[in-house]
Structure 1
Amino acid sequence: MASDAVLTKSQFFKPQFNLTEVTNLEELHQKLPTPVSARELSGYNSQWALVLLTLSNSNDVQDYILRFGYPSMQNILIVGFDKSGKKLFEAKSGKLVPFSERVVADSEYLFPIHVPTNESITLAIELKTTGSMQFPFEIYSDIEMLHHTQKKFLFFGVYYGIILFILAYSLFIFMSFGGRLFSRYFFYILSVVVAQMSLHGIAYKYLWPDLPHWNKVSTLFFVAFMFFSLSQFTRVSLNTKESAIKIDWLLKGFSVFSAFLAIFSIVSYGNTVIRLVGIATSCLPLIFVPAGIVGLVKKSKFAPYYLPAILFYIIGASLYGLKDAGVLPPSFVTENGILLGSLLEVSFFSIGLGAHIRDLKFNADRVVIENKIHSEIANLATQMAHDIRSPLSALNLLSDHLQEASDEKRDLLKGSTQRINEIANSMLQKAKSKNLFTLQEAAADSAKSSPVARTSFKEVCENVLSEKMLLVENSQLQICLLNSLPEALVRVDAADFARALSNILNNSIEAIGNNPGTIFIKSDLNLKEQTLTLEVRDTGVGMSSETLRKVGAKGFTFGKTNGTGLGLHQVRATLKKGDGRLSIQSKVNEGTTITCLLPIVT
């Protein structure tokens, strides 16, 4: 009790009659059963209770306010009797009572009480609910009630001021950036705001004062909608669909269950749906905390903000639930646990989304810079492709006049200049696709004409092998062809395949170095599987298992002073583009085997 001017005596009963049937205090006492403790009736133990309060006033102040501080109580009926037992007044309030019929037009349940000085009155209070039974009675003088109302308005003003600002902020970023993340965030914040307004009676006062049935089901409906929105926001913010498939399925299931609860609360309100919402609430730490932990393990950028946010909400909701069940006494923290928890939760979410927006801006700036770099590279490639053609023409002309050279060497020189020319053409084509066409034009052009590559495996291999055999002609290294090259067309670009094979052989030559060694080349055509396998095995220095895990990554180089780390990366990319595969096996001091699997074209 808030006021020390009114002494009270309270008794609790399990009634077997309606209070409206009673005409005087004597009749009431005759009908009352044996008193029970408040704990026996608290929580979900009872849906109907009768409380008898005796108020004695020894103060000059005679007018007081009886406050019932549990907003979810559905029906409250108060009948006052004077000391002679005569019925003084009857007043009703509660969640199901139309707002216009309340004694005091307030979101709280307030009842004016007149207690003459040095006299006493008896209040019979009948409580009915399908939810939790609570007895948070407080008596205030007018001045005390004014102070209480000021504190309540200050707290609610701060809470709803912050939460509505965050709601407006979430709407602004959704309108500015679009996307699933910001839309899910907006609807979650909206569900939090409306659920809290419904829970505390503010929505009943300002939004639907003449809809008592909707007011009865609205809190459960919006709590279920809040759970649904939180599940969807979690899936998107932590990217569980890609990073945590089992958690994602769990969140999907919880979303469906929450949607079912929202609909069920409207069509069949009662103990069942109340208990189901309670079960859903108890599942929050079992679903969303693991989701946040998995997000941290998977290095989700939003997880460091998500996990503490969800923990704050769960702690606040748990305090309120324990108070609701009668385990914890009513206090500022337990009565406002959900408000405090949700405020901290959405604040952390907003900070996390702010960091996400900064990342979006950084990535957008990076894309602009990368596009500029790509443009410069494309221009450089165009210039190189143009300038290289003059010396190529001279080399071609020179090869025709090398009378003293053998036909084989002249053919090799012509083949080499032709391959350089193909590389130049390839560079020019790629430069055009990146620089001279828009993305839409390039996509449309690719969709209209992207013929399947048809490259002669034997011809490309013979050209590259002739070049490499000439290169190692005067060394201790031998290139050994273990079987004849098959006549087949493979699904890779000719210039890219020649470059890939050249890169593989270059690596083998460099791995052997100046030491005696052999490069073995074997090919196998599998008509049944429609594939061609090319195996290149050398007797070079080999690689450790740690190096083998890194090799092929762009920029990684091993054992070369001036290596660029692009050779095997280009090989893998070329094979992948033609639906082929690359595998590498190696042992230190034993050598390396590179196997290329190429689809053939029939």
Structure 2
Amino acid sequence: MFKMLLRTAVFLLFLFCFISADAQKAVVFNKKSYEHIFVRGEIVALEDPESKLTFEEISSETYHHKFLTNVDYYPKNYNRNSSYWYRIKVRFEEDLDKSSVIEFFDQVTDYIDAYVPDQDGKYIHAKTGADLAFNERLFKHKNFEFLIKNLKKGDYYYYFKVKSKDRVNVIIVFRTVERFIQYGLTEYLTYGLFYGMIFIFSFHNLLMYLAVRRKQYLYYILYIISVGLYEVSIDGIAYQYLWPQHPVWNEYAYGIALFCISSFALIFTKELLHVKQKAPFYFKLINIVLALRLLFFLLCLFYNPDWFKYKFIEFIPLSVGFITGIYILWRKKYRPARFFVVGYSFLFLGFVIKIIHILGYARHIPGALGYYSLSFGFLLEMVFLSFAIGDQVRILKRKKENAQKQIIKQMQLNAEMQENLNRELEAKVEQRTTEVKKQAIALQQQNETIEQQNEELLLKNTLLQDQSEEISRMNVLLEKDNINLKTSIEKVTDARVNATELDFDEFSQKYPDKESCYKFLSELKWESGYSCLKCHHTNYCNGKVPYNRRCTKCAYEESVLHHTIFENNRIPINKAFYLVYLMYNSKGTISSHKLSDKLGIRQSTCWTYASKVKKVMEERKKDLRGSGKSGWSKIVLDKKA
């Protein structure tokens, strides 16, 4: 049962297609007909997936009924890998005594093969397209035209083969040559006005940038130039005048222009609306969108240029800029944002109308408005963005004028304060002058008194100078006596240290402090010369601690206490010296209690140090024989030293 229903449906569909194709509606023209756009049922189409069908096959009876009636307002090549054959039927009610053209609108169509009938029933083949050099076109026009010469009345079939990498709207238009010339002149004049306005806007803002040096003008100029580049690329004007011999550039120009439009529009938005200060979240969002848009552009440019065709992606940066302007206007009450929002509203509206027109749903919108809606949107946006910049400049000017008024007011206050201060200073100066005059008289009297005193002092100075010379001579003699006396005292002290047992006060005359002890250890330790313990280098410099020595080659610093009996010492060094001295003189028999009384140190500490010294004395008993009283200094150094 299901198979029978399926066969019946297929048969009815085939019958419907057969009847629809066979009964293709003929478009009637007469001498008064000057223009007609073919839509919906006036066009039949046939898809050629492998692009192998020839015109002879297509025009044969076998394929005559295979053409399907177009269901869209304008036909489209939904499968971009296929070729599409389109056929229109024209009926001339009278002899056509003037030349006409068949025109295709979509400038990105790669190849169009036209088979145009003549009055003898033969077909003339003509070829054009965006992938062919511009000078190969019959008419040097941005659109694609095919000439229709004089024909007799009757019915004629026209065949067109379309193949394109982009999805295109196959808009087929019949025009007389007179109408085509009128239309072409009007169109190019409109383009001239449009691009002239772009040039004027750019030049005006360039002058403003040179005058005030605000970056927003520079970004706005780059944005306008990007819009112009996109429009000339899409309209075919760039191909006609800029690179007519290089059709491959058509595949990249509009993509590059769209990237520049998105980027400079968002950068201009950040600069004009001060987004970083007024809306930090949207500032970060814009930066993210800019980075992603750059990534997508690089992928299109170097990986797959076909991705440039996804123009709808520009809806994202457009929306982000639009929403940012609305937020700053609504929440931050920033006045220039109102013109910005209005301008973006027109651009947004033009973008929507353009999409509707491309999809074939804008039947009630005039053709020019629908086809050029995006251009009108760009134009109105540029006007209102200029108003926004002007409004911002007026606000800044108003702020500057207010600031100048405040400065002038403050300067007047400063001038009044300066006058009052000058009056006060003049009064104080006058008062001070009177005081100074009085002081001058008093000083003059004092100077006279001082002159008299100076004369007396001169006489006294002469006497003092004589006395000073005598005192100096006596001091020289005393100094010599002191040097001799000091030397004698040191000799006596050394003799007493080596000869008898001294108390701590007498011993301290020889080693009064830490520095004298360190000096003695340094001379004793390096008596035979310095040699680094690490690298055996013999040159040194002073270390961080007095009498330490630092190697100039490896920077190793050797302590003066290292390899001595005083290493890791925890009592004052001069007392440690005296302890060693007492232990040596007593040959180790002095008790720790007596050492504690003499040194003022705890008995346990004295016992620990005395044990250490006594052990060293036992180990060096042979070395200390015959050393006399001065042998105590020989137990200071370790044998390693």
TM-score (norm 2): 0.56
- Judged with a 3 Å threshold, the aligned counterparts in structure 2 of structure 1 residues 180 and 263 are, in CA distance, closer, same or farther, namely same
Matched residue of 2:308: which SS? helix
The CA distance in 1 between the partners of 2:304 and 2:65, in whole Å, is 31
Task: Tell me if structure 2 keeps the 8 A contact 1:261–1:273.
Answer: no
Structure 2 residue corresponding to 1:63, chosen from 99, 106, 110? 99
Question: Deviation of residue 331 (structure 1)?
Answer: 1.4
Structure 1 residue corresponding to 2:295, chosen from 243, 260, 284? 260
Question: Deviation of residue 62 (structure 1)?
Answer: 4.4
Per-residue CA shift, 1:176-224, capped at 9, x if unaligned? 2222111111111111111111111111111121221111221122022
Question: Deviation of residue 69 (structure 1)?
Answer: 1.7
Indicate the residue corresponding to 2:327 in structure 1.
294
Instruction: Identify unmatched segments of 5+ residues in structure 2.
Output: 1-26, 433-641
Indicate the residue corresponding to 1:232 in structure 2.
267
Question: Deviation of residue 335 (structure 1)?
Answer: 0.2
Per-residue CA shift, 1:394-444, capped at 9, x if unaligned? 999xxxxxxxxxxxxxxxxxxxxxxxxxxxxxxxxxxxxxxxxxxxxxxxx
Per-residue CA shift, 1:555-579, capped at 9, x if unaligned? xxxxxxxxxxxxxxxxxxxxxxxxx
Matched residue of 1:293: which SS? helix
Indicate the residue corresponding to 1:45 in structure 2.
78
Alignment pair present for 1:107 and 2:161? no
Indicate the residue corresponding to 2:354 in structure 1.
320
Question: Deviation of residue 97 (structure 1)?
Answer: 2.2
Matched residue of 2:68: which SS? coil
Per-residue CA shift, 1:26-63, capped at 9, x if unaligned? 45854985525343995573324221123332333342
Indicate the residue corresponding to 2:111 in structure 1.
75
The CA distance in 2 between the partners of 1:177 and 1:3, in whole Å, is 61
Q: Residue type of the partner of 1:224?
A: F
Matched residue of 2:48: which SS? coil
Indicate the residue corresponding to 1:136 in structure 2.
171
Alignment pair present for 1:202 and 2:202? no
Q: Residue type of the partner of 1:295?
A: I
The CA distance in 1 between the partners of 2:140 and 2:277, in whole Å, is 52
Q: Residue type of the partner of 1:289?
A: F
- Judged with a 3 Å threshold, the aligned counterparts in structure 2 of structure 1 residues 343 and 37 are, in CA distance, closer, same or farther, namely same
- Percent identity, aligned pairs only, is 16
Matched residue of 2:161: which SS? strand
> Any residues of structure 2 matched to 1:549-568 within 5 Å, and which?
none
The CA distance in 1 between the partners of 2:239 and 2:52, in whole Å, is 26
Indicate the residue corresponding to 2:373 in structure 1.
337
Question: Deviation of residue 384 (structure 1)?
Answer: 3.8
The CA distance in 2 between the partners of 1:201 and 1:29, in whole Å, is 38
Task: Tell me if structure 2 keeps the 8 A contact 1:24–1:86.
Answer: no
Task: Tell me if structure 2 keeps the 8 A contact 1:173–1:182.
Answer: yes
Alignment pair present for 1:161 and 2:192? no
Q: Residue type of the partner of 2:149?
A: H
- Judged with a 3 Å threshold, the aligned counterparts in structure 2 of structure 1 residues 101 and 20 are, in CA distance, closer, same or farther, namely farther
- Bigger share in strand: 1
Alignment pair present for 1:124 and 2:166? no
Q: How many residues align?
A: 394
Question: Deviation of residue 68 (structure 1)?
Answer: 1.0
Matched residue of 1:77: which SS? strand
Q: Residue type of the partner of 2:126?
A: E
Q: Residue type of the partner of 2:323?
A: P
Structure 1 residue corresponding to 2:125, chosen from 69, 75, 89? 89
Task: Tell me if structure 1 keeps the 8 A contact 2:272–2:389.
Answer: no
**Quick check: 24-33 or 353-362, which moved more?**
24-33
The CA distance in 1 between the partners of 2:355 and 2:329, in whole Å, is 28
Matched residue of 1:14: which SS? strand
The CA distance in 2 between the partners of 1:334 and 1:4, in whole Å, is 28
Q: Residue type of the partner of 2:226?
A: S
The CA distance in 2 between the partners of 1:2 and 1:286, in whole Å, is 46
Question: Deviation of residue 237 (structure 1)?
Answer: 0.9
The CA distance in 1 between the partners of 2:116 and 2:162, in whole Å, is 15
Question: Deviation of residue 165 (structure 1)?
Answer: 1.6
Indicate the residue corresponding to 1:487 in structure 2.
none
Indicate the residue corresponding to 1:177 in structure 2.
212
Task: Tell me if structure 2 keeps the 8 A contact 1:191–1:225.
Answer: yes
Task: Tell me if structure 1 keeps the 8 A contact 2:99–2:149.
Answer: yes
Question: Deviation of residue 121 (structure 1)?
Answer: 3.7
TM-score (norm 1): 0.59
Task: Tell me if structure 2 keeps the 8 A contact 1:65–1:112.
Answer: yes
Task: Tell me if structure 1 keeps the 8 A contact 2:252–2:305.
Answer: no
Task: Tell me if structure 1 keeps the 8 A contact 2:169–2:358.
Answer: yes
Q: Residue type of the partner of 2:352?
A: S
Indicate the residue corresponding to 2:471 in structure 1.
none
Alignment pair present for 1:356 and 2:356? no
Indicate the residue corresponding to 1:555 in structure 2.
none
Task: Tell me if structure 1 keeps the 8 A contact 2:141–2:240.
Answer: yes
- Judged with a 3 Å threshold, the aligned counterparts in structure 2 of structure 1 residues 128 and 24 are, in CA distance, closer, same or farther, namely closer
Alignment pair present for 1:10 and 2:43? yes
Alignment pair present for 1:242 and 2:280? no
